């Protein structure tokens, strides 16, 4: 059984950081550094959490597989 943990939103900056629309009640556990997440659609994943931070009440993440803005833009909605 797969659960939706978050939906990837808009990119933030030029280095692949994205804002997440968090859908889990345990973001610290599910989105911890090193967590590998399956994606829908599957061709964008899996994605591995490299770094997280909170900015103005939103969770922002950089994935190991994405380090530029164009890659982050492609992930939007995933």
- pTM attached to this predicted model: 0.89
pLDDT at residue 2 is higher than 90: no
Name the pLDDT band for 6 (thresholds 50, 70, 90).
very high
Q: What is the pLDDT of residues 28-44, one digit of tens each?
A: 899 999 999 999 989 99
Q: Write down the pLDDT at residue 47.
A: 96
Q: What is the pLDDT of residues 14-26, one digit of tens each?
A: 999 999 999 988 8
Q: Write down the pLDDT at residue 7.
A: 95
- Give the chain as a DSSP string: -----EEEEEE-SSSS-EEEEE--S-HHHHT-TT-EE--SSGGG--EEEEEEEEETTEEEEEETT--SHHHHHHHTT-
């Amino acid at each position: 059984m797969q659960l939706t943990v978050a939906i990837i939103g808009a990119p933030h900056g030029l280095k692949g950081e994205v804002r997440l629309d968090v859908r889990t009640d345990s973001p610290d556990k599910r989105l911890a550094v090193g967590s590998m997440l399956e994606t829908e659609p599957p061709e964008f994943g899996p994605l591995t959490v490299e770094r997280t931070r909170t900015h103005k009440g939103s969770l922002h993440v950089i994935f190991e597989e994405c380090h530029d803005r164009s890659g982050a833009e492609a992930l939007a909605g995933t």
